[in-house]
Structure 1
């Protein structure tokens, strides 16, 4: 089904929350985008690192003279480089980008000042993310050095030997699953070829 585009020069909104965030976050973005005057919205719950079909649709939909509006930079881009890829793609279509909350200000790439501010803030955001990752790595290294880092909990695959051992003792898959805290399907996979997976 084709979507009819309104007359040139409209505000088109894009909103995103991650798959782990609450619906309320998306609803708040919808409210802010509509209050700004957006005539069409593209909203989705999607990871910033995965595919974002609604963003792709929004990028295809906008026309020369339009402005793509987002509430925050991190709703749109996953890095400074990614942000400028989006801005460049919009520029090629004659479309500007407006960010409603960038350090408490609304910034629009139609102006040179807006582009400069966007560049500075996105650079800070990228730096902050990299610092956070660095602190996380340092924390893990310190915990490992102190013998406190446990890492992830053992997966069902790591418990396969235990499952086979319990099966050899005559336990049923249901009993094994309960004892090891894994699903029955994982037990059956661990016992493939053993020939005693009954019950």
Structure 2
């Protein structure tokens, strides 16, 4: 195999370390995203897809680093292997070349389904945690954008006919937020 060895790293948040994912792996170039894996709209992933050529090998720590849902995972693997790019998932010890066996395709589907399931569980646990915290009175939601005094001033000025867009710019909030302060839903 004559191409470059390319690495793809993804962590979900800015404060997470990317170091451990492809540590001690010799790579010609590494593409790193600090973004959720909920979809494929990630700048470095898009750059990798443009950059990878026939004969290259893309190395990823694990399938869930590339995609968190089965459709996206399959699509990315097919897109890359269809162009002659080999993909290696280190954690799962799986390699895809486009000439894969039925067993390899089954493993891709099963492992991808687990990543999707895990993402769904995380969301469910988060919603349950918020519900319990609300019951205890410990969860109050996002901090209000404006103090009570500024909100009253905003409402008074809007009622006097000042343009909502100008108010939004002045207070550093969106027009939608201006309307929420003017017409609270309780």
> How many positions carry a matched residue from both structures?
153
Question: What pairs with 1:73-152 in structure 2 (closer than 5 Å)?
Answer: 73-102=63-92, 106-110=93-97, 111-112=100-101, 113-144=103-134, 146=135, 148=137, 150-152=139-141
1:27 corresponds to: 19
TM-score normalised to structure 2 length: 0.65
- 1:156 and 2:145 correspond: yes
What CA RMSD, in Å, does the superposition of the two structures yield over aligned residues? 3.1
C-alpha contact (below 8 Å) 2:6/2:58 kept by paired residues = yes
Going from structure 1 to structure 2, the CA distance change for 1:152 and 1:53 (only over 3 Å counts) comes to same
Unaligned 5+ runs, structure 1: 1-6, 166-187, 191-199
Deviation at 1:87, TM superposition (A): 1.0
C-alpha contact (below 8 Å) 1:15/1:42 kept by paired residues = yes
Residue-by-residue CA offset, 1:88-138 (whole Å, 9 max, x unaligned)? 211321222210012xxx111234233322221110121122123223333
2:44 corresponds to: 54
Counterpart CA distance in 1 for 2:38 and 2:115 is 16
Unaligned 5+ runs, structure 2: 153-169, 173-186
C-alpha contact (below 8 Å) 1:62/1:95 kept by paired residues = yes
Going from structure 1 to structure 2, the CA distance change for 1:59 and 1:153 (only over 3 Å counts) comes to closer
> Which structure has the larger Rg?
1
